[in-house]
């Protein structure tokens, strides 16, 4: 997601206070979920949250769940964190880092859902390894998924979706609840629309969606 470099980015991030979890690439250690969310038992994470429409909607709909939102671009994450702060939503925490670090930051098998929404498609074949649905990245997410946990993935990009349909099985996942037109499907009623989703569906693009899980 492109956002013009903003002035006061660090100050705005600091003003979001404890909503933004500390991240030090040189000194990675596991978060204690019981300290972050003493009253929650279920945790979900969105990777690449952008400006935060999805995580805001999910957190409002599920106040019993502790959400985490990861975004590697600081100026984008700040916009999402300010949304949560201004709406006085209590059950979202942000992390400003790349997804590659998540295995070192969270306890094993702690997430009921991992949401990948409109992940960057990296259309050039030589950049395939950067896609969040490249099989090695999906393999790394296995450590994060709780028993019975699922990855929910949606994208307007049919090439990325078709690529992902091949990568999930390579990484050992099964898939179900697959649709090439989410908004016309049975999953539309529970769907929380992201910023990219609103934009692309307004332009007439169909939204692809799947759920992936690990066989027992």
Ligand X SMILES: C[S@@+](CC[C@H](N)C(=O)[O-])C[C@H]1O[C@@H](n2cnc3c(N)ncnc32)[C@H](O)[C@@H]1O
179 alpha carbon, distance to own chain's centre: 19
- Cβ of residue 38: shortest distance to ligand X, in angstroms? 27
Cβ 90 to ligand X, closest distance in Å? Answer: 22
Using CB under 6 A as the binding rule, whether residue 120 contacts ligand X is answered as yes
Task: Select from 45, 51, 105, 47 the least CA-distant residue to 77.
Answer: 51
215: CB partners within 8 A, 6+ apart: 172, 174
Q: What CA–CA distance (Å, rounded) separates 114 from 173?
A: 13
Instruction: Please choose, out of 20-28, 106-114, 140-148, 194-202, the segment that lies near ligand X by the rule CB under 6 A.
Output: 194-202
Applying CB under 6 A, the span of 21-29, 43-51, 159-167, 181-189 interacting with ligand X comes to: 43-51
196 contacts ligand X (rule: CB under 6 A) = yes
Residue closer to ligand X by CB (options 38, 87) is: 87
152 is an interface residue for ligand X by CB under 6 A: no
Least Å distance between CB 20 and ligand X? 14
| 71 scored as a contact of ligand X (CB under 6 A) | yes
* H or E segment and range at residue 81: helix 74-86
- CB of 190 closer than 8 Å to CB of 150: no
Least distance from ligand X to the Cβ atom of residue 72, Å: 4
How many residues are present in the chain?
A: 216
Does residue 75 touch ligand X according to CB under 6 A? no
Distance CA(65)–CA(42), nearest Å, equals: 5
Residue listed under structure tokens 């959400």: 67
The answer to whether residue 1 forms part of the interface with ligand X (CB under 6 A) is yes
Contacts of 98 (CB under 8 A, 6+ apart): 72
Positions annotated as catalytic residues are 120
Give the one residue of 19, 37, 44, 50 binding ligand X; rule: CB under 6 A.
50
Among 87, 78, 82, 20, residue whose Cα is nearest residue 57: 87
| Options 13-21, 69-77, 173-181, 204-212: segment touching ligand X (CB under 6 A) | 69-77
Question: Using the rule CB under 6 A, is 83 a contact of ligand X?
Answer: no
In the bound state with ligand X, the residue whose beta carbon lies nearer, of 120 and 152, is 120
Q: Tell me which residue of 83, 88, 89, 82 sits closest to 67, measured CA to CA.
A: 89
- Contacts to ligand X by CB under 6 A: 1, 47-50, 70-73, 76, 98-99, 117-120, 132, 194-197
């Amino acid at each position: 997601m492109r956002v013009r470099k903003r002035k006061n980015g660090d100050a705005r991030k600091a003003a979001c206070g404890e909503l933004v979890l500390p991240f030090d690439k040189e000194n990675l250690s596991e978060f204690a979920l019981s300290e972050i969310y003493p009253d929650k038992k279920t945790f979900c994470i969105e990777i690449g949250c952008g400006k935060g429409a999805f995580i805001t909607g999910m957190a409002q709909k599920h106040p019993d769940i502790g959400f985490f939102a990861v975004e590697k671009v600081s100026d984008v994450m700040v916009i999402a964190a300010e949304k949560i702060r201004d709406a006085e939503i209590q059950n979202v925490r942000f992390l400003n880092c790349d997804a590659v670090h998540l295995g070192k930051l969270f306890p094993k098998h702690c997430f009921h859902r991992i949401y990948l929404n409109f992940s960057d498609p990296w259309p050039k074949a030589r950049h395939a390894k950067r896609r969040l649905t490249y099989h090695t990245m999906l393999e790394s997410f296995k450590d994060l998924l709780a028993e019975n946990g699922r990855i929910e993935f949606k994208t307007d990009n049919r090439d990325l979706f078709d690529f992902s349909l091949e990568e999930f099985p390579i990484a050992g996942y099964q898939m179900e609840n697959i649709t090439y037109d989410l908004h016309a499907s049975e999953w539309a009623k529970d769907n929380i629309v992201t910023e990219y989703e609103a934009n692309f569906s307004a332009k007439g693009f169909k939204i692809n969606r799947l759920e992936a899980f690990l066989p027992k």
